[in-house]
């Protein structure tokens, strides 16, 4: 499981996320990932999952897309 929060503060619980997470920035990241063919959960409060069906190539492609998406922010 994984998730993303954009914040200048540590996020260690839901209360931190509700107070500090930047939802607008998450939305921009989510859209940038979609543009690169990576489909993530549409809310920063949802978890993402990997499975045995994801190949090393899938993971590498996702990491490359995330680097590009983050650079675009």
CB 7 within 8 A of CB 29: no
Which pLDDT value is given to residue 64? Answer: 98
CA proximity to 39, closest of 20, 58, 11: 58
Using CA atoms, how far apart are residues 3 and 6, in angstroms rounded to an integer?
Answer: 10
15-71 per-position pLDDT tens digit: 999 999 999 999 999 999 999 999 999 999 999 998 999 999 999 999 999 999 999
Average the pLDDT over 4-23 and give the result. Answer: 95
Identify the burial level of 29 via C-beta atoms within 10 angstroms of its C-beta, where 0-12 means exposed, 13-18 middle and 19 or more buried: buried
Using CA atoms, how far apart are residues 61 and 71, in angstroms rounded to an integer?
Answer: 15
CATH 3.90.1150.10 fits 14-72, yes or no: yes
CB 26 within 8 A of CB 67: no
Q: What residue segments make up the domains of the chain, in order of their start?
A: 14-72
């Amino acid at each position: 499981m994984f998730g993303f929060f954009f914040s200048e503060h540590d996020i260690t619980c839901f209360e931190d996320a509700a107070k500090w997470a930047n939802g607008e920035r998450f939305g921009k990241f989510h859209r940038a990932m979609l543009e690169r063919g990576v489909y993530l959960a549409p809310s920063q409060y949802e978890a993402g999952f990997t499975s045995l069906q994801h190949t090393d190539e899938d993971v590498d492609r996702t990491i490359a897309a995330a680097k590009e998406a983050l650079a675009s922010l």
